[in-house]
Amino acid sequence: MARQDYSTFFESISVASTAAGAGADVVYTVPANHDAEVTFLNCTNGSTVNTLSVQIYHSDDAGYHYILRETSVPDNETRDIVTSARIYLHAGDKVVSYKTGGTFDVSVSGKLFYNPTRNI
């Protein structure tokens, strides 16, 4: 059996927040002493057409950066945000989301690598 140098993670939330940045709902936070490779980031809309935003909080500069900005998602459809590309994060970085209305779920999964030199 091959040695696996990472673990995996999956988180999913129902978005309630309508505020950006620190007011957005946290979907996932990279734990201390770890790096993360996001391989899947998906949103679903369970109601009428509304917009959704997804941001990355970068702990090094304490800034929020858009991955998806107020994008319309038709009712009862999904939107794959990460497909063949990858997002690399480190300890303390977060994936956050907010909406203008409706019923949105955001799901994220990927690989988690132990990094003893990376602390929050």
In the block, which residue shows the tokens 């988690």?
A: 112
Fold of 7-114: Jelly Rolls (2.60.120)
With bands split at pLDDT 50, 70 and 90, how would you rate the model's confidence at 86? Answer: very high
Length of the chain: 120
At residue 22, what are phi and psi to the nearest 5 degrees?
A: -65, -20
Selected residue with higher pLDDT from 76 and 12: 12
Q: What is the mean pLDDT of residues 74-103?
A: 92
The predicted pLDDT at position 84 comes to: 85
Q: 97 with 43: CB under 8 angstroms?
A: yes
The token pair that represents 36 in the structure block: 């993360």
Rg (CA), the chain: 15
pLDDT for 102 beyond 60:
yes
Could you report the per-residue pLDDT of 53-70, keeping only the tens digit for each?
Answer: 999 999 999 999 999 999
**Whole-prediction pTM:** 0.91
The predicted pLDDT at position 3 comes to: 56
- Among residues of the chain, what percentage have pLDDT more than 70? 94
Domain assignments of the chain as residue spans, ordered by start:
7-114
